[in-house]
């Protein structure tokens, strides 16, 4: 079966760095997405990785290793507004998005 694993919840301190991991097992691979979802709101697109390596976009970076079926989202200089759920999703060989359950990130002052 297809499976996406990410931690249920993480806590970090304002100004610090946090890494949210995602491992996946899917039938085929056409890229991995990270989305941010604030409580009561719809997800917003953060990043897309299809090749191995690190993609940096401001305070957020996303890494992919296809051979390991692994990705992480790195958030630097954490701000209180970064408190949200972070969703990992993999596009399989049929271009279907397989969603992880999301990681709830709690930022403390």
Partner 1 sequence: GAVVSQHPSWVICKSGTSVKIECRSLDFQATTMFWYRQFPKQSLMLMATSNEGSKATYEQGVEKDKFLINHASLTLSTLTVTSAHPEDSSFYICSASRGAGGADTQYFGPGTRLTVL
Chain positions contacting partner 1, by CB under 8 A: 30, 33, 35, 40-45, 48, 87, 91, 94-97, 99-102
Q: Which two tokens stand for residue 53?
A: 């390596």
Q: Which of the 8 DSSP states describes residue 94?
A: T
Q: Which two tokens stand for residue 98?
A: 């397989």
Identify which of residues 48 and 76 has a Cβ nearer to partner 1 in the complex: 48
Identify which of residues 67 and 94 has a Cβ nearer to partner 1 in the complex: 94
CA 68 – CA 45 distance, rounded (Å):
24
Identify which of residues 37 and 61 has a Cβ nearer to partner 1 in the complex: 37
The partner residues of 53 in beta bridges, in order of sequence, read 64
Residue given tokens 């701000």 in the structure block: 79
CB of 26 to partner 1, least distance (A): 14
Q: Which two tokens stand for residue 90?
A: 């993999």
CB of 27 to partner 1, least distance (A): 15
CB of 21 to partner 1, least distance (A): 17
Identify which of residues 7 and 76 has a Cβ nearer to partner 1 in the complex: 7
Label residue 61 exposed, middle or buried (CB < 10 Å: 0-12, 13-18, 19+): middle
CB of 13 to partner 1, least distance (A): 24
């Amino acid at each position: 079966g297809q499976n996406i694993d990410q931690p249920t919840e993480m806590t970090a301190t304002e100004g610090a760095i946090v890494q949210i991991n995602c491992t996946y097992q899917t039938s085929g691979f056409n890229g991995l997405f990270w989305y941010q979802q604030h409580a009561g709101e719809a997800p917003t697109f953060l990043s897309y990785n299809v090749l191995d390596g690190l993609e940096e976009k401001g305070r957020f970076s996303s890494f992919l290793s296809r051979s390991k079926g692994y990705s992480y989202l790195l958030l630097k200089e954490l701000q209180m507004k970064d408190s949200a759920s972070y969703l990992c999703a993999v596009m399989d060989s049929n271009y279907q998005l397989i969603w992880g359950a999301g990681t709830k990130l709690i930022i403390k002052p």
